[in-house]
Amino acid sequence: MGLGSAAMNETARKMVAPGKGILAADESSGTIKKRFDTIGVESTEESRAFYRGLLFSADGAEDTIGGVIMFDETLRQSDADGIPFVQVLSDKGIVPGIKVDKGAKQIAGSSDETVTEGLDGLRERLAEYFKIGARFAKWRSVIQIGNEIPTWNGIKSDAHALARYAALCQEAGIVPIVEPEVLMNGNHNIERCYEVTRLTLQTTFDELFDAGVAFDSMVLKPNMVISGLDAESQASPEQIAEMSVSCFNEVVPASVPGIAFLSGGQTELEATANLNAMNAMEQEHPWELSFSYGRALQQSALAAWRGNPANRDAAQQAFLHRARMNGLARSGLWNPECENDSRLR
């Protein structure tokens, strides 16, 4: 038996509590191998467990991390003392979560658009994950901007899958993170991103409503409204903030507890600066503007670790520093000088 509606609402709010965000440590085996390759570390079950464990056990992580998304393997692993990662996190007051989608596959008849799969058997998997200790889940859909895409069929297909997933989560008493990501890949300008993001979110919330999903017991994980990586000019943090908040004010219901932005292709500093700009705005909004970062919380930690157990403390400090910087950005209190302020380390 999962959590009731009141408990799910409480969990969702805990995940994006003021000053806190979510660590995305849900890289698949293939993705984490690519990350490890960049630092010359072999990806084994043991190395993956050691690395994730140093992040989860970092002293003080609970001050700025409200939840952690894990991969199936990680959810079942334990630290060096045999304590399950789920318990390590829960004992620190951090909500354990699980990635449940099976990845994006090409839509029939299209070479450019995808739909995320993983609905088959999801009800049973969610029941098992709840027993293990997961209290929220994540499902990522991918929307590509390009020549004549996205199509209505592409957006509709992913929105419908997200809604079915979210309804199954809440049936199981698990808070769904709904992640419709409009990719940064491309040369589109920020206005085109606004247009596609707005349509994607509107369609997604229409589908969520039709599926009976309770908006107050979910977390939205969207892209920021931002220029394409190959655009002729890049928008400033202030422009990104203004257009993102305006877009979400148009289409995101006020009852959603929080918007936890993904970092996409942004650098660590870009992700922090853009989040800070949103929270520094005078424009009001009803939801928490938070973060759910993967690389933008881990890149420095990976570089500090490099697979050497002796670098554990240095890697933890690198991770904690980025978490603290984004914690400041949650209140619009970050600036570049904070990065080198010894009082914040």
How many whole angstroms separate alpha carbon 205 and alpha carbon 215? Answer: 9
**Cis ω on the peptide bond leading into residue 150 (within 30° of 0)?**
yes
How many whole angstroms separate alpha carbon 216 and alpha carbon 4? Answer: 12
The single residue of 14, 20, 99, 221 carrying the catalytic annotation is: 221
pLDDT of residue 316: 98
Q: Which of 220, 133, 217 lies closest to 167 in space, CA to CA?
A: 217
Whether 221 is a known active-site residue: answer yes
pLDDT of residue 296: 96
**Contact call for residues 271 and 263 (beta carbons, < 8 A):** yes
Superfamily holding 5-344: Aldolase class I (3.20.20.70)
Residue 309 burial (CB count, 10 A): 10
The single residue of 179, 181, 207, 268 carrying the catalytic annotation is: 179
Q: Which of 12, 26, 13, 1 lies closest to 295 in space, CA to CA?
A: 26
Element (H, E) at 260: strand 258-261
Report, as ranges of residue numbers, the positions in the chain whose pLDDT lies below 50. none
Whether 131 is a known active-site residue: answer no
pLDDT of residue 345: 64
Provide the residue ranges of all domains of the chain, joining segments of one domain with +.
5-344
